[in-house]
């Protein structure tokens, strides 16, 4: 009889019970998942069951975690993402959730850059925690990503980006994400990267402040290697702050655009 154990095919004898299999394969497991639900009993296993054994506090090996990610993404998709390198310039309301989404998706290498530190006002929309206040954003986010997927390679740079260091820092990426707040920084990054790293795509953001309609956040191709996410209009202003829901919508548009580029599709 065939089942899946931790997303790996396994042949077992008819009449095998869940806890019997646990005792044979992973005796220290204290959470038993059968077909997507935590199981407190000891049922007979059936053909095609999907079983996951979890030992609280134990981090799965790289092979085990990859098997489960591969099962969700499909082998071809996961392998392409695992081999990819993505740069993220700016780690605030856009950059931090983009990094989280890409790490969860299994992108193999992330290059993060930001000179700023975590402030209390950041907690309304950025992927940081109250015990990280005062830490450099690049270092705090690296720690958070390691808790999500410790097998992603993270390069964290605490520095201010400028035309002199952008090509050396991001020259080897497959895709670069622009996630700055200030318009002049955005323009500087776009101009420098597209001119100094020709042929490489850049995904930028513009217009996601306030609590306007989420569906007005769109992804557009505005040049041969430049994709722009947002409504293109709504900037932060008195009465129109940067808020987690709409900024998060834009961030995930950007993350999805990155995935589409890595997988050979046009962002839209």
Per-residue confidence (pLDDT) for residue 93, from 0 to 100: 95
d(CA 254, CA 233): 17
Mean pLDDT, rounded, for 49-68: 87
Domains of the chain (ranges plus CATH)? Answer: 2-58 (3.10.20.30), 75-262 (3.40.50.720)
For residue 234, what pLDDT band results from cuts at 50, 70 and 90?
A: confident
Greater confidence, 239 or 194?
A: 194
Q: What is the pTM of this model?
A: 0.87
**pLDDT, tens digit, 9 for 90 and up, residues 92-113:** 999 999 999 999 999 999 999 9
Asked if pLDDT for residue 240 goes beyond 80, the answer is no
Asked if pLDDT for residue 238 goes beyond 80, the answer is no
**pLDDT, tens digit, 9 for 90 and up, residues 63-73:** 888 888 887 78
Query: How open is the CA angle 248-183-119, to the nearest 5 degrees?
Result: 55
In percent, the amount of the chain with pLDDT more than 70 equals 100
**pLDDT, tens digit, 9 for 90 and up, residues 150-192:** 999 999 999 999 999 999 999 999 999 999 988 899 999 999 9
Q: What is the DSSP letter of 232?
A: S
DSSP SS3 for 27? coil
**pLDDT, tens digit, 9 for 90 and up, residues 15-24:** 999 999 999 9
For residue 60, what pLDDT band results from cuts at 50, 70 and 90?
A: confident
Per-residue confidence (pLDDT) for residue 174, from 0 to 100: 98
Helices (H), the chain: 18-25, 62-73, 75-82, 95-105, 137-148, 166-170, 183-196, 244-262
């Amino acid at each position: 009889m065939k089942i899946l154990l931790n997303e790996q095919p396994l042949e077992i004898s008819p009449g095998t019970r869940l806890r019997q299999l646990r005792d044979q394969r992973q005796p220290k497991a204290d959470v038993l998942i059968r077909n997507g639900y935590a199981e407190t009993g000891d049922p007979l296993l059936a053909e095609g069951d999907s079983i996951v054994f979890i030992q609280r506090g134990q981090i799965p090996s790289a092979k085990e975690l990859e098997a489960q990610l591969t099962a969700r993404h499909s082998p071809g998709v996961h392998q392409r993402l695992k081999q990819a390198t993505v740069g993220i310039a700016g780690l605030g309301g856009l950059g931090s959730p983009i990094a989280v989404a890409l790490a969860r998706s299994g992108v193999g290498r992330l290059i993060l850059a930001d000179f700023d530190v975590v402030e209390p006002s950041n907690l309304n929309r950025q992927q940081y925690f109250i015990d990280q206040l005062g830490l450099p954003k690049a270092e705090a986010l690296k720690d958070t990503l390691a808790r999500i997927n410790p097998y992603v390679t993270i390069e964290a740079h605490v520095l201010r980006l400028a035309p002199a260091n952008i090509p050396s820092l991001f020259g080897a990426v497959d895709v670069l994400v622009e996630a700055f707040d200030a318009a002049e920084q955005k323009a500087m990054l776009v101009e420098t990267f597209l001119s100094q790293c020709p042929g490489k795509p850049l995904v930028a953001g513009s217009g996601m402040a306030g609590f306007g309609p989420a569906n007005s956040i769109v992804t557009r191709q505005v040049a041969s290697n430049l994709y722009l996410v947002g409504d293109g209009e709504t900037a932060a202003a008195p009465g129109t702050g940067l808020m987690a829901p709409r900024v998060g919508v834009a961030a995930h548009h950007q993350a999805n655009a990155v995935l589409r580029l890595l997988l050979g599709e046009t962002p839209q």
